Amino acid sequence: MTDKVLMKGNEAFAETAIRAGCGYYFGYPITPQSEIPEYMARELDRRGGAFLQAESELGAVNMAYGAGAAGGSVFISSSSPGIALMQEGLSFLCCAGVPATVLNVSRCGPGIGGIQPGQADYFQATRGGGNGDYHVFVFAPDRLQEAVDLIYEAPLIADRYRNPVMILADGMLGQMMEPIVLPEQRPLIKPADIPAYKPWTVTGKADRGGKRNVVQSLYMQPEDLSRHVEEMYANYTRAEKELARYEADGLEGAEIVFVAFGTTARLCRETIELLGDRGVKAGLIRPVSLWPFPYRAFDEVGPDTKAVVSVELSMGQMMEDVKIGVNGRKPVRLIHRVGGLVPTSVEVMDEAIAILEGI
């Protein structure tokens, strides 16, 4: 059964997580994503799962670690400062190889910042906000349907790689309404089925005929830790090949190429039309995965392109990856707003024309 419905972003995210088979949700209120724990409180237990309001985001991510290590399919959500508190747990989840689906409905920072949309969690998400060598896989939808599809796929990716997957959706997506098609309900895994499906989990050793499982992230011998981190990175190298995703539009013959994710990508599409009306051909590279970043997309940028412009609701965090992708072949510039401000498509057009005139 597939339903086409008009839903608010946060409620669509929560419903999709349930349909994706995430039977365990641990949440804490924070704007602009509080509708998610509210939705889970209403829905999850009566549909066979378990909802719990944690004492803090630290509590929530560690409950997710426990439930995930015990074989449950877990979903957690928060917004920027709350995700900051979860970084300790994300480092543990990655090192211990515990899958989870994590949603950041991001707002602006730093500090308490503001509750308006922002994209300044880019470094936090893609560089690893916690300690040590690790990555979470990060996907950034620009519309609700894509967010639904990605949240539905996330637990499969998390299980396949035994690593957390983060959906980075800014506050605009969380609060907007769009028609979406919801996916079918995946069955929630039963405790008795966990040992067969996830034989590495801690479920009591009787489930394995007395063979003991330990989920750990401490390696006191340098050689052991070195081996473990190298193995994690072999997994990440595979992910870089298999998970890098992007959309590219109108790159051929484009004078200017915008790079944007999430809300700003929607904006850039409008700007591209406005520029077209003025006789300026513009293209768009929209990274769908932020880690792994789709660097190869920039190989498609052609000889007519005079500038590659990163459009961001941050001080230019993604621009660092754009520069790596462009690799010196073109000038790279930034159009940005922070503090919760969002530029209009006309403003982006004016700044783009000024960039072209200045090159």
Partner 1 sequence: MKPIFTITEGMLPVSTSYCPGCTHGISHRIVMECLDEAGKLGEAIGVAPIGCSVVSHQFMNVDMLESAHGRAPAVATGIRRVHPDKVIFTYQGDGDLASIGMSEIIHAANRGETFTTFFINNAIYGMTGGQMAPTTLVGQKSTTSPDGRDPGAVGMPMRMSELIASLDGAVYVERVALDTPAHVRQAKKAVAAALEIQEKRLGFTFVEFLSTCPTNWGLTPANALKFVEEKLIPYYPLGVFKTPERKEEAV
Q: Which residues contribute to the site for partner 1 (CB under 8 A)?
A: 24, 26, 50, 52, 54-56, 58-60, 62-72, 74, 88-89, 92, 96, 191, 194, 202-207, 210, 212-218, 220
Considering the complex, state which of residue 14 and residue 76 has its C-beta at the smaller distance from partner 1.
Answer: 76
Considering the complex, state which of residue 87 and residue 310 has its C-beta at the smaller distance from partner 1.
Answer: 87
**Min separation Cβ 74 and partner 1, Å:** 7
Considering the complex, state which of residue 1 and residue 196 has its C-beta at the smaller distance from partner 1.
Answer: 196
Bridge partners (DSSP) of residue 168 are: 104
**Min separation Cβ 89 and partner 1, Å:** 7
Considering the complex, state which of residue 49 and residue 183 has its C-beta at the smaller distance from partner 1.
Answer: 49
Considering the complex, state which of residue 194 and residue 275 has its C-beta at the smaller distance from partner 1.
Answer: 194
Q: For 101-201, where are the E strands, in sequence order? A: 101-108, 114-117, 137-139, 165-170, 177-182
**281: helix, coil or strand?**
coil
- The position carrying tokens 């949700």 is 25
Structure tokens at 221: 């011998």
Considering the complex, state which of residue 55 and residue 231 has its C-beta at the smaller distance from partner 1.
Answer: 55
Residue 24 parent element (H or E): strand 24-27
Distance of CA 180 to the CA centre of its chain: 19
**Min separation Cβ 30 and partner 1, Å:** 16
**Min separation Cβ 346 and partner 1, Å:** 48
CA atoms of 229 and 201, how far apart (whole Å): 20
CA atoms of 313 and 301, how far apart (whole Å): 23
**Min separation Cβ 205 and partner 1, Å:** 5
Phi, psi of 215 (to 5 degrees): -105, 120
In sequence order, which residues have a C-beta less than 8 Å from that of residue 247 and are 6 or more positions away?
284, 285, 286, 288
- The position carrying tokens 């394995």 is 208
**Min separation Cβ 206 and partner 1, Å:** 3
